[in-house]
Chains A and B, each alone.
Chain A
């Protein structure tokens, strides 16, 4: 039964990893940008949530209402002011600029909040669980996270393929010059894509902060989980990131079940195995 439990918890954890991955996948799909600071932005959102919760005295899950728009604005500004200047044929500038950004965010958070691990308390919902036959208990919070991941990815999928925004995203992604000729402002479209990605990052950050403790150096780890979920699922496939997240979560939990020291290692090895046998991921849509 322990094993069934580990797998179920792993699947639910996969929802959180899919949230880490969705933003990464979105901005790569639209502007072929890989943001090394993605994980640090998730942690930044968690710290913002912490500040909002403590100053307003509200439930952390409610703080999303404030954190999401703030992160969206940060995303838009970041893209228009900094990242748009780095885009081009050369892959070095975006990579190194986001790497610098990652160091700035990490150390900025360190200055403001110190290195102490923090955690947000969401109250009774954290310990609430639903009993299943066979003595299994499933936490309400992990289920809520998983459901949120499905809603977020479904929403992104809808925006991408059904809305005017999504049409602009896809058009700019296909051919930037022709999209400009058709009256789209490339810089603005990229800004919107980054804003949307950081709204997802805000949701991911709040859930991260409620689920586990976090500190300023937690970002790179989250980036790696998100990245692995993207590659396992296949580049450019949003639902694929959910599958990738689930595979990662399940492998980590199975690894932890065997030996606590193997939790992270098992996830990385699963990623490397998939890279070895299916280098383009399980459900690839676009070329990297």
Chain B
């Protein structure tokens, strides 16, 4: 027998097949939430979905493209302000304003990327923060949108989503669920594609991937623009739910970046599962500890530091190290045909997070 008959490269494993089935069932159950969940539960779930989307996007940026940004609030706030501007000034329906906010986010992220890609590593991180500050201070200058004190979404705009209150709440809930599914699907498709392989190569070793002919600047630029667009769309949805915007809330580094970073670090950076698990843990912690106020945030900071020092791959990284489990079919594994009782899937685990050599 020749080698090509003996070995096969597979992506789906039994675990990822089961996970896919479970995911579809969970999704169906969640889509039916307006019929079984209360109003408060739906609000909480929507918020959870939106954080999950933000965390997955930040993870794509930092965990895969090596672009550690602490300024993603720039795009959240930008999306939020786009929503208000488009609905108030141009009379767009919020349902159309959200995708337009995403396109606007992509357009604005292009010059931003050209400028701040000149900064490397940690200086890039603070550079993104400066950009977010510029956005915040600029938003505070727009007096038509309330300047520094902000403004509310007009009642007519809110009513244009749907006539009844229950239907409006269900619509915004479905949009939040829809966007997290969209984001996760896009991240999956992106990472499975040729570009995704290039990204993982860059993540593992920038110098080596460059010598293999990968255009690093372009690969990172592409990810930055895609995340910028989707983050802006998520931002528009966030403020469609909040119904009120102000520069400080829209461009808050704590709400839209610090929490998101904690979610990804705790869940496991550089994995798709990490942000999902991290978001669920973050919301469990928040629902039980939020009464502690500032102390709760200190605990969160401490947990993130301890995880970064002792288990830098986060919870999912730890689980995968122990069990070799992949819930999303991303890694290519080599298996021996006819020896399926003991699959040898050791090689080419390209999605295992390796420290980046510079």
Contacts and interface: CB of A to CB of B under 8 A. Distances in A.
28 contacts: A34-B125, A88-B355, A89-B357, A90-B355, A91-B356, A92-B62, A92-B68, A92-B308, A97-B304, A97-B305, A99-B304, A100-B302, A100-B305, A103-B298, A103-B301, A104-B298, A107-B294, A107-B297, A110-B294, A111-B294, A111-B298, A224-B130, A261-B137, A261-B141, A265-B138, A268-B130, A272-B130, A275-B119
B134 interface: yes
Given A97-B304, A279-B119, 5 more contacts: A34-B123, A92-B312, A93-B312, A103-B300, A227-B130
B70 A36 contact: yes
Interface of A: 33-34, 36, 82, 85-86, 88-97, 99-104, 106-108, 110-111, 220, 223-224, 227-228, 231, 235, 261-262, 264-265, 268-269, 271-272, 275-276, 279, 288
Contacts of B120: 288
Given A96-B265, A261-B141, A223 B126 contact: yes
B68 A227 contact: no
A4 B122 CA distance: 37
Counting chain A CB atoms within 10 Å of each CB, the highest count among B123, B141, B258 belongs to B123
Contact of B309 (A86, A107, A262): A86
A227 to B, nearest CB: 5
Given A96-B308, A268-B134, A89 B302 contact: no
Contacts of B294: 107-108, 110-111
B298 A227 contact: no
B197 interface: no
Given A100-B304, A227-B123, A95 B358 contact: no
B133 A107 contact: no
Nearest to B114: A276
A34 B126 contact: yes
B301 A104 contact: yes
B179 interface: no
A93 B122 contact: no
Counting chain B CB atoms within 10 Å of each CB, the highest count among A93, A95, A220 belongs to A95
Contacts of B130: 224, 227-228, 268, 271-272
Contacts, number: 132
A93 B308 contact: yes
A89 B355 contact: yes
B70 A99 contact: yes
Interface residues of B, number: 46
A262 B141 CA distance: 9
Contacts of A268: 130, 133-134, 137
B73 to A, nearest CB: 11
Nearest to A85: B309
Contacts of B254: 103
Nearest to B358: A89
A111 B301 CA distance: 15
Contacts of B121: 34, 91, 288
B261 to A, nearest CB: 6
B126 A100 contact: no
Contact of B261 (A96, A104, A224, A279): A96
Nearest to A269: B134
A224 B133 contact: yes
A288 B115 contact: no
Interface in B184-221: none
Contacts of B123: 34, 227, 231, 235, 288
A99 B261 contact: yes
Contacts of B261: 96, 99
A231 to B, nearest CB: 7
A272 B302 CA distance: 33
